[in-house]
Structure 1
């Protein structure tokens, strides 16, 4: 009986609908792809401190092969998440793909289904009202509405992530005329407990069937002003969805973060015990499973191996100019923000002395918008210029290599610095 309940609870979603709900920039590693698992980043997913003291010293990053991926959704809240089973890679095991990823980094061989997301207004979320459908969504995703009818009206049937069918009355009316969902919408709002700021996602499958999903607004203090402003950090060319948590205002004067990247006011969906267990299995070469919530405002901690390797080959120096992509509340809009590297320093030299996690402390050209984004992972930035600005202090010799070093020498010295095999 218990196994049957678990099977029902873990009913896998269609990957296309899952990604539509997650956001266009979320990447999930494909089966047999190579990733680095970061226990330090996994700990941040708990939104609390994780005690690793019972474990022997574990590596800061562990090369793994993706064994299985399950796309899932919470049966009560519809929040999507993924279960990923990882197998640590042995030294002689390198005969599998390196760069295959679901998501934006994949070279698409088939046409992606059409989807559209809208952030709910107060009027949309009023359980006694209707939903104002953007014209693009009504004309490209919904079934064709006969505008010659009086009034133009139809019933659309939308399937949610659990397979339940929701009927909505779609009408074109008003002055000026607009598309609305009326009957059925308030029932959906009440059942799904939607509030203003949540997003509704509509997707049309290749078969023509209409699907509906939800993206919950990131509430509370996890993201601080960053979350409240509606900006969510995503990856640049080095891949991976990324959102930064507000750093501990009471951290030590040298700016170092604690073992979980800072203290957090809200409890995460991942338990500290599961992180310790996964870290132990990973460090001892045993298969393990992790759970990842792409909308949880925490960094991606299973990162494409080639992205990390590329970032680690760079001679990171103070004053380097970079850009990073940001996603707004409108998932179709991507903005790039510029900044400079102000410090190159291991975030937690006590627990993770050789970790590149949050290695770069940055200064933004527009600090008011990004005041809580202070430490970033090297694989998430795209260099604009590797020449430091003149007025900054000279870089440290161990991190910024002299001009006579070749690219391969730079990579070797950098990897040696962070404890990565050359």
Structure 2
């Protein structure tokens, strides 16, 4: 996610891909917007959709003038402009008390509970008294909207395992969770427990993100963006990097670094990338 005060490159074509089936009148002519725009991040406001709990950001961007871009390009070329990005692993290192689990059919069944990996339970939840025959406790976790959810955390079974029982089915039903969705638990430094959900990628579509797509008739229209770029004035967009394969907000250092890689038609390559669970994966093409 872009940081306030940072410099990014805005890619209009990627934004169009992000909007998907946006009304035709929302898109300006190709000549109205350059292929890429250097911008300063003026503000970042985080939101969560009321119906899906999907998180997204409202970015306020200000096109940079040519002199600033020239100085940044020179700094990059002489090596003084370092990477101001942060990897997924570094972000997870700052949030050690967190786990994410993809829900199974058992986790989402009406009469089942939520099976929690032992290491995740011991790291994220308050400690259980294992001297008891059936160690258990009540957990209270807040979702992204501040709603409190109460769960019974118990350690039982053969072999023994950590389960969330009472209260879990109500949470699944209210959030309309299905197998393949993911649940995240996070314990802050203050000990407060928070939780969120991630919808399965294959279920994503425009209708699931009304706030993102309402921008077509609101402050984020590409027509407004084209005018803002032409007049060097601030514009606002909604941004969810998980919604589209096309990144349209790229850190400046990453954009500049890409020019040092020689690519030619027909070249085969292997690309390494980071997934949301902090694992490093690769693909070939």
Q: Same fold, TM exceeding 0.5? A: yes
CA distance in 1, matches of 2:82, 2:39: 11
CA distance in 2, matches of 1:303, 1:155: 43
Q: Is the 8 A contact 1:69 1:82 kept in 2?
A: yes
| Aligned residue among 297, 305, 310 for 2:257 | 310
Q: Is the 8 A contact 1:87 1:286 kept in 2?
A: yes
CA distance in 2, matches of 1:212, 1:267: 20
Q: Which residue of the partner structure matches residue 4 of structure 1?
A: none
Q: Which residue of the partner structure matches residue 72 of structure 1?
A: 47
Q: Is the 8 A contact 1:34 1:99 kept in 2?
A: no
More helix by share: 2
- Structure 2 gaps of 5+ residues are 73-80
Q: Is the 8 A contact 2:28 2:226 kept in 1?
A: no
Q: Is the 8 A contact 1:48 1:267 kept in 2?
A: no
| Aligned residue among 44, 49, 56 for 2:17 | 44
CA distance in 1, matches of 2:169, 2:50: 20
Q: Which residue of the partner structure matches residue 281 of structure 2?
A: 335
Instruction: Give the alignment's TM-score, normalised by structure 1.
Output: 0.57
CA distance in 2, matches of 1:35, 1:82: 15
C-alpha deviation, 1:283, in angstroms: 3.3
CA distance in 2, matches of 1:218, 1:79: 11
Q: Which residue of the partner structure matches residue 115 of structure 2?
A: 132
Q: Residue 219 of structure 1 aligns to a residue in which SS?
A: helix
CA distance in 2, matches of 1:221, 1:327: 20
CA distance in 2, matches of 1:107, 1:59: 33
C-alpha deviation, 1:156, in angstroms: 1.1
State the aligned residue count. 268
CA distance in 2, matches of 1:106, 1:171: 31
Q: Which residue of the partner structure matches residue 157 of structure 1?
A: 140
Q: Per-residue displacement from partner, 1:156-189 (whole Å, max 9, x unpaired)?
A: 1112112222111011111111111100101111
C-alpha deviation, 1:319, in angstroms: 4.5
Say what the alpha-carbon RMSD is for the aligned residues.
Answer: 2.9
Q: Is the 8 A contact 1:159 1:165 kept in 2?
A: yes
C-alpha deviation, 1:326, in angstroms: 4.8
CA distance in 2, matches of 1:310, 1:133: 41
Cα distance change on mapping 1:136 and 1:332 into 2, 3 Å: farther
Cα distance change on mapping 1:98 and 1:83 into 2, 3 Å: farther
CA distance in 2, matches of 1:327, 1:107: 12
Instruction: Give the alignment's TM-score, normalised by structure 2.
Output: 0.83
Cα distance change on mapping 1:107 and 1:326 into 2, 3 Å: closer
| Aligned residue among 272, 277, 284 for 1:325 | 272
C-alpha deviation, 1:317, in angstroms: 1.7
CA distance in 1, matches of 2:10, 2:259: 15
Structure 1 stretch displaced more, 44-53 or 181-190? 44-53
CA distance in 1, matches of 2:216, 2:147: 34
Q: Per-residue displacement from partner, 1:67-123 (whole Å, max 9, x unpaired)?
A: 00011111222110001100000123468998534x527967x84342111100111
CA distance in 2, matches of 1:332, 1:292: 21
**For residues 28-39 of structure 1, what are the structure 2 equivalents within 5 Å?**
28-39=1-12
Q: Residue 124 of structure 1 aligns to a residue in which SS?
A: coil
CA distance in 2, matches of 1:130, 1:220: 23
